[in-house]
Structure 1
Amino acid sequence: MLTVKDKIVGVLGLGKSGQAAIRLLLKKGVREVYGVDCRRIKGLRPVRKVKFFFGPEEKFLGRIAGVDFLIKSPGVPPDNILLQFARKKGKEIFSELSLGLQFCRPAKIIAVTGTNGKTTTASLISHLLTRAGLPAVLAGNIGQPLTGLVEKISATTILVLEVSSYQLSDTTDFHPDIAVVLNITPDHLQHHRSFSEYVQAKKLITANQDQRDYLILNADDKIVREIRTQAKKYYFSVCRRPFNGIYWKENNFVLVKNGQVQARLPGDCLKLPGQHNQENAMAAILAVNLCKVHPGLISRHLRSFSGVEHRLQNIGSYRGVTYINDSKATNVASTIVALNSFPGKNIWLILGGLGKGSSYRPLRPLIRQKVKGILLIGQDSPRIENDLDGTATIYKCQTLKRAVSLAASQAEKGDIVLLSPACASFDQFRNFEERGQVFARLARQLGVR
């Protein structure tokens, strides 16, 4: 176990993960913490034994030279100057996830990754386990850092983790009992430099698994289904029957083991719309079934799962126009999923924010089919306008407030105002949650209920 007591520790990145790591380090008797971030963090107050440093990171090389080891927050890029300096000095670098795992020993770890669907799937797994009477804790990239929850985890707990490519790249000793890979499409290319590097990061979820473990894969995603592993493979699919796993047939979820049907769960148990949610549900059903939860219990508790905030969240309607908060759509693939969830050409689409280096051109066919108008916000607006020119009328709004106001003035009865930005939020908001909350507030100010 990592020794923290009486050590001097540097924490790089002071968002949710970094702050949670600092609180855990203080509880474990650290001598002093140096918290570093290139941006000043609003609301961060001085704490005994903690010194905060904000601004150009090269100013703090001397501080890093004096630490015993470093904790790296997920969003800190691997070529960060302080990380390079620490490596040259022989300092050990741990991820926030690694730090949390040092101080908890759960009965089982279920880890979920993928470009899209992670939050819904991890939340559904936790929901099904808890409703079945099993002690489960949900943590990770879902917005609840593991280091903030270690005291709630005992030897009987099933730990459900949403893990990002950033976290997997930083956590070389990660070993889940059950790993889930939902899908892999281009994302975070500004961080990983290439799609190939991003794919390799996702594959790290199974790097330390062995024959006692399970890997759940999407059989309909070519990159995912070909992932190599030492673990036992189970597959989910909407178009083919796996030898071990689950598939969708005639409005039923069909569980299969060694080629034999084990159970059928009615598809109408799932209240969330869209094929993507059928896929998320199949992955969750498999993971929970591998924890020995009976299919009948799974079926019963699927009905009570209503989804997650900021993912195709129906805010309400006003004058016949429906407002949908999909702020969690931070990449193009996720926005494609959102557009596919609605029939007809009746969408006013709010796009934009901080781009991730991907082209927006894959949106063109769906926008032609489904979108009445595009309302652009944020930093990457010029690139989006260039990529989507000629598909629908484009309105340059810059801010979310102007976009919602303009959409409300243009939309007619039966239309949908959809915030599904295909971009990160950090150019105008603290995170995608704040962006979604602002959208919901603006909609309600219009009279949406």
Structure 2
Amino acid sequence: MELKGKKVLLVGLAKTGISTIKCLAKYGADITVNDIKTEDKLEEIISEIKDIDGIKYILGHHPEDISDIDMVVVSPGVPLDLPFIKKIINNNKELIGEVELAYRLSKKPYFVGITGTNGKTTTTSLTGEIFKKANKETYIVGNIGNPVIDAVQCANEKACFITELSSFQLESIVDFKPNVSAVLNITEDHMNRHHTMENYIDAKSRVFMNQDKTDFCVLNYDDEITRNLAEKCNANVVFFSRKEMLKKGVYLEEGNIIINIDKKINLMKVEELSLPGGHNLENCMAAIAMSYVSGIEISVIKEVLKTFKAVEHRLEFVKEINGIKYVNDSKGTNPDSTIKAVQAYENPIILIAGGYDKGSDYNELLEIAKKNVKTIVLMGETSDKIEKTAKNHGILDIHKVENMKEAVLTCSKLAKEGDVVLLSPACASWGMYNNFEERGKDFKDNVNNL
């Protein structure tokens, strides 16, 4: 891909934006940076690229004249239905995202692309560890927090990229073609961005849109939406299921995990997995399928599954105080994710929830939660919405707080021996925090200060 002298407009700063700018500068592109935020709000970010000469900035508003732009690179956080973005597309300007740019600049290493509403980070981390244990040059990248563009510049053609992909990132791919893709599940999320479930499903489906019969696509058979995606997938589809015995795929048989893709293999007992909960069993099955079709040895897969530790901010055990367990599930950013977290425990739960409103519906969560959630502590802009829905489902012990410190102190006073204090907000962190990691750290700091 030739970038020298090419006039590139980057829309949206932040982590991937900074990495993209550094890469574009290295290849000699003529860079213009645009962000709707004003310079004073971007001062810290801009300081990271102050040593790069020749960057032009359009801040606080979008550019009116795009006639001399050759290509646009858009950050994941920028909606593609903005009038400004539509104008770019209507003017036949090439528009791609950081993942697509990285793919074009790479030496075409082995790509694994993982998406889904929930479980992406755990599955990506687990699959990455399996590849590392197999002594492969492995980069765990993408939505997990490590920009793909940073890694492709130092990786060779034998490297393996285990890539977590959000629907936002997938919207702006064009040629990206993973050797193995996976769609773990699809439930309602990001409706404020995608507007309809059809749009959201279409965005997720883009992970396999360029695949062919030389590639593999791993799909969750138990999720009706992902199961039906097989009909429009051109890759070799491999299903996984924890509920059905499949003719072909990864499934359960009398408490054993079975791989039956080219031959039947009894891999291990479910109870040998290091990760708890039915949702993690699904994550493990997806990782098994992706690793197996990638040629990883059975002994390696098995060893990692027995020893892998939970990802930070995903059902992460923090501390036990006076017989009360404190668990950080800050990555529970939508109702379905929090359902899975609640179902992972049989003990009574005091749930800390609430945050930024993505337009989600909380009825199913609170109908399921009433079985073992005895108290809910709420914060953030969704507090009133969740409180009203909770009361409709018979959960009446509800406490509203202003911040995480107050939430943790309230829980510590209400909890009894044997209870689980679970931070699983069912909402994004924006408005109170920059990201779910910051929220989870705040929870852990306050728990450790009890």
TM-score tier by shorter-chain length is: over 0.9
Instruction: Please point out which of 417, 432, 436 is paired with 1:432.
Output: 436
TM-score (norm 1): 0.94
The separation in 1 between residues aligned to 2:377 and 2:353, in whole angstroms, is 6
Q: Which residue is equivalent to 1:36? A: 35
The separation in 1 between residues aligned to 2:130 and 2:140, in whole angstroms, is 12
Report 1:6-405 matches (<5 A): 6-38=5-37, 40-41=41-42, 43-44=44-45, 45=47, 46-48=50-52, 49-55=54-60, 57-58=61-62, 60-62=63-65, 64-227=66-229, 228=231, 229-257=233-261, 260-344=263-347, 346-389=348-391, 390-405=394-409
CA separation of 1:42 and 1:326: change in aligned 2, threshold 3 A: farther
Letter aligned with residue 324 of structure 2: V
Segments of 5+ residues of structure 1 without an aligned counterpart are none
Query: 1:26-70, CA deviations, whole angstroms, 9 ceiling, x for partnerless residues?
Result: 221223332424362362113433344443x34x324x4543321
CA separation of 1:153 and 1:269: change in aligned 2, threshold 3 A: farther
Letter aligned with residue 167 of structure 1: Q
Query: 1:357-388, CA deviations, whole angstroms, 9 ceiling, x for partnerless residues?
Result: 11111112222111121111111212112221
Q: Which residue is equivalent to 2:419? A: 415
Once the two structures are overlaid, the 10-residue window that deviates more, 27-36 or 308-317, is: 27-36
Measured after TM superposition, the shift of residue 239 of structure 1 is 1.8
Segments of 5+ residues of structure 2 without an aligned counterpart are none
Measured after TM superposition, the shift of residue 233 of structure 1 is 1.2
Once the two structures are overlaid, the 10-residue window that deviates more, 279-288 or 249-258, is: 249-258
**Aligned residue pairs, count:** 440
TM-score (norm 2): 0.94
Q: Is the 8 A contact 2:314 2:330 kept in 1?
A: yes
Measured after TM superposition, the shift of residue 295 of structure 1 is 1.2
Q: What value does the CA root-mean-square deviation take over the aligned residues?
A: 1.7
Q: What fraction of aligned residue pairs are identical, expressed as a percent?
A: 35
The separation in 1 between residues aligned to 2:376 and 2:208, in whole angstroms, is 40
Q: Alignment partner of 1:398: what SS?
A: coil
Once the two structures are overlaid, the 10-residue window that deviates more, 427-436 or 300-309, is: 300-309
Query: 1:96-127, CA deviations, whole angstroms, 9 ceiling, x for partnerless residues?
Result: 11111111124321111111011111111110
Once the two structures are overlaid, the 10-residue window that deviates more, 67-76 or 415-424, is: 67-76
Q: Is the 8 A contact 1:269 1:300 kept in 2?
A: no
Q: Alignment partner of 1:240: what SS?
A: coil
Q: Is the 8 A contact 1:265 1:295 kept in 2?
A: no
Q: Alignment partner of 2:401: what SS?
A: strand
Q: Alignment partner of 2:80: what SS?
A: coil
Measured after TM superposition, the shift of residue 203 of structure 1 is 1.4
Q: Alignment partner of 2:280: what SS?
A: helix
The separation in 2 between residues aligned to 1:81 and 1:19, in whole angstroms, is 24
